């Protein structure tokens, strides 16, 4: 399998708080890699490092073999990184359609005509084609989450980084997100997906990585990881006999 992203011995500290100590993993082409772990494990900080918001104190990141550890946010976006945020960050006074166009024009350097065509295709993919004229600030939570994915897709990413896109949704709404993820994967896009909704990790990923206290705990097939002694100990703090 072709390696898209290689994270090697990643570490970062904020004062005396060592959030990531030694984190290593690989993301393969057209793979959905789920990331789980207890609160404070360093999951979102890891995404911030991958997108260039934070600079690690040690380790390196290879993207298709190229060292991007010191690349800027904009450089990484142009190279093929797309990202959603735990709290959706849409331009609330712009329409759904305009939000996606912005992603194409400013995140992918598209001319507006091309960005408009792409926006229509993306809105159909994420199930917001019938709400393209709505102002983003009027959307429900699930539609805000969908739009967050759509804006990230508009940058034409090779890798999408999801930060709890299913958080706060109902079971049926989660099913809708899983459908979108399957369609994205069919476009040959790889995904790193942080989530606390375990249904998504069981049904929507190819592998799951559990991290705790800034380190790898276990990585493997979803059912193996979710039922492992290591994950149970990680979440409960109780070692099994």
User: Do 204 and 165 form a contact (C-beta atoms < 8 A)?
Assistant: no
Using the Cα atoms of residue 15, residue 13, residue 37 and residue 231 in order, give the sign of their dihedral.
Answer: negative
Mean pLDDT for the stretch of residues 102-131: 91
Q: What is the pLDDT of residues 184-237, one digit of tens each?
A: 999 999 999 999 888 899 999 999 999 988 888 999 999 999 889 988 888 766
Give which of 211, 214, 208, 241 is closest to 227, Cα–Cα.
208
Domain boundaries, the chain: 1-80+157-241, 89-156
Average pLDDT in the 34-54 region?
91
Mean pLDDT across the stretch 65-87? Answer: 91
**Structure confidence at residue 237 (pLDDT):** 62
Pairing mode, if any, of strands 215-220 and 207-212?
A: antiparallel
Q: Is the pLDDT of residue 240 over 60?
A: no
The CATH number of domain 1-80+157-241 is 3.40.50.300? yes
Its pTM stands at 0.91
Q: Alpha-carbon distance 91 to 89, whole Å? A: 7
Higher-confidence residue of 89 and 147: namely: 147
| pLDDT grade for 241, boundaries at 50, 70 and 90 | very low
Burial letters 111-137, b for 16+ CB under 10 A, else e = eeeebbebbeebbebbbbeebbeebbe
Q: Determine the pLDDT at residue 125.
A: 93
Percent of the chain exceeding pLDDT 70 equals 98
List pLDDT tens digits, range 19-39.
999 999 999 999 999 999 988
Residue 238 has pLDDT above 60, yes or no: no
Confidence check: pLDDT of 172 > 60 = yes
Cα–Cα distance for residue pair 84/48, rounded to 1 Å: 11
Question: In the predicted model, is pLDDT for residue 144 greater than 60?
Answer: yes
Q: Indicate whether 51 pLDDT > 80.
A: yes
In the numeric block, the tokens 């960050």 are attached to: 89
**Stretch 58-63: mean pLDDT, rounded?**
96
Q: At what angle do helices 141-153 and 112-126 cross, to 10 degrees?
A: 140
CA dist 153 and 105 (Å) reads 12
Phi-psi region of 66 (alpha: psi -120 to 50; beta: other; left: phi over 0): beta
Contact between 36 and 204 under an 8 Å Cβ cutoff? The reply is: no
pLDDT of 239:
52
- pLDDT category of residue 89 using cuts at 50, 70 and 90: confident
For residue 78, the cross-strand partners are none
Structure tokens at 10: 């990643």
For the chain, the average pLDDT equals: 91
Decide: 33 and 206 in contact? Cβ < 8 Å: yes
Question: What's residue 140's pLDDT?
Answer: 95
């Amino acid at each position: 399998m072709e390696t898209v992203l290689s994270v090697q011995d990643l570490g970062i500290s904020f004062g005396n708080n060592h959030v990531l100590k030694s984190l290593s993993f690989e993301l393969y082409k057209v793979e959905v890699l789920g990331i789980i772990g207890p609160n404070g494990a360093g999951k979102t900080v890891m995404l911030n490092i991958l997108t260039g918001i934070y600079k690690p104190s040690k380790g390196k990141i290879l993207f298709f073999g190229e060292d991007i550890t010191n690349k800027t946010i904009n450089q990484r976006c142009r190279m093929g990184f797309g990202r959603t945020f735990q709290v959706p960050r849409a331009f609330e006074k712009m329409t759904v359609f305009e939000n996606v166009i912005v992603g194409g024009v400013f995140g992918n350097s598209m001319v507006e005509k091309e960005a408009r065509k792409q926006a229509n295709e993306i809105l159909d993919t994420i199930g917001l084609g019938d709400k393209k004229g709505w102002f983003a600030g009027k959307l429900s939570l699930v539609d805000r989450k969908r739009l967050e994915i759509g804006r990230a897709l508009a940058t034409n990413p090779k890798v999408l980084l999801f930060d709890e896109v299913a958080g706060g949704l109902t079971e049926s709404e989660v099913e809708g997100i899983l459908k979108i993820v399957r369609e994205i994967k069919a476009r040959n896009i790889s995904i790193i997906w942080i989530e606390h909704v375990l249904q998504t990790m069981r049904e929507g990923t190819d592998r799951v990585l559990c991290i705790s206290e800034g380190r790898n705990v276990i990585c493997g097939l979803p059912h193996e990881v979710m039922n492992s002694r290591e994950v149970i100990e990680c979440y409960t703090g109780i070692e099994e006999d």
